[in-house]
Amino acid sequence: MSNKQYSIALTVTYVPYILSELPSNLMLKAVGPNLMLPTMLTLWGIVTALQGIVNSYPGLLACRFFIGLLEGGVFPGLFLSPEEKAYVKEKLLEDTHKEEEVFSWKEVIEAFKLPQLWLLGMAFFFAATILFGLAYFSPSIIQGLGYTAADAQLMSVPPYAVACVVALVASFISDRYRCRGIVCIVSVLFCAIGFAMFLGSQSKRVQYGSLFFSATGAYMAAPTQATWNANNASPQTRRATVIAMGFILANSGGIVATWLLGSLSPAPRLL
């Protein structure tokens, strides 16, 4: 498979993913998560398993299309447990006394008028471009430094292990001290340090070490931005629209990443 074919296969996933997010999130309120989410998750798992037995490029594209279509509505629609829901409701009552609302197209339209939707959406877009680019191409980047394919797969694990720990700590801090903007700024600085190390050094060890900074920055930003986005919209229908749009813009960044770090940027410098 060529670099161009690989980029196309990744892009085919994102197009239905993006298109299904908003309608799926709105349908979830009408149909009910008890029916929609298990169905989507089951079909998603079946198609993902079938991807392992395809032996042709058109078959791979078909699998990637349906994976994106089914996966698109899952993450924006994930819901809380009864205990978590009770806790959230208790906290929300401190700020508002509104009753449960019904779906309204007016609130959907109002959501698109929110400046924070587009400002945070752009942050989502660029952060996701980095995140998905590293997620898909880290093994290729490491292999381009001169390591074998097997070693590259193993060496791609430590940067993400560190990123996981830092992301959890950063999420706790941003929630505990309500400093989501500061955490997002710090995540950008981590990414900038990582990319500067990668581009400014000829040492393979330094270039590999740069992934610890760039991966940490990318994964540190994601949960903070997602929470910040949800916090900035109310009532429920408006919030559901804003959440879905955030994921749509983020996955649009994923499409850009598949081409910027795929067929358009030759290894090992990826410029």
Q: Which domains does the chain have, with CATH numbers?
A: 1-98 (no CATH), 107-271 (1.20.1250.20)
Residue type for 113, please?
A: K
Q: What is the DSSP letter of 235?
A: S
Sign of CA dihedral 241, 243, 248, 253: positive
Closest CA to 235 of 115, 96, 124, 30: 96
Residue 220 or 5, more confident: 220
Dmax (CA) of the chain: 61
Token pair listed for 63: 């699998």
Determine the distance from the C-alpha atom of residue 17 to the mean position of all C-alpha atoms in its chain, rounded to a whole number.
Answer: 11
Residue 54 or 235, more confident: 54
Rounded percentage of the chain residues whose pLDDT exceeds 90: 34
> How many CB atoms within 10 Å of residue 17?
26
The torsion angle over the Cα atoms of residues 39, 44, 49 and 52, rounded to 10 degrees, is 160
For residue 205, what pLDDT is reported?
92
**Rounded to a whole number, what is the distance in angstroms from the first to the last CA of the chain?**
22
Contact 218, 136 (CB under 8 A): no
Sign of CA dihedral 120, 122, 126, 129: positive
Token pair listed for 25: 């999130």
Phi, psi at 94, each rounded to 5°: -70, -25
**Per-residue pLDDT reduced to its tens digit, 130-179:** 998 898 888 888 988 888 888 998 999 999 999 999 999 999 999 899 89
pTM here? 0.69
Lowest mean pLDDT among 29-33, 182-186, 198-202: 29-33
Closest CA to 256 of 106, 158, 74, 131: 131
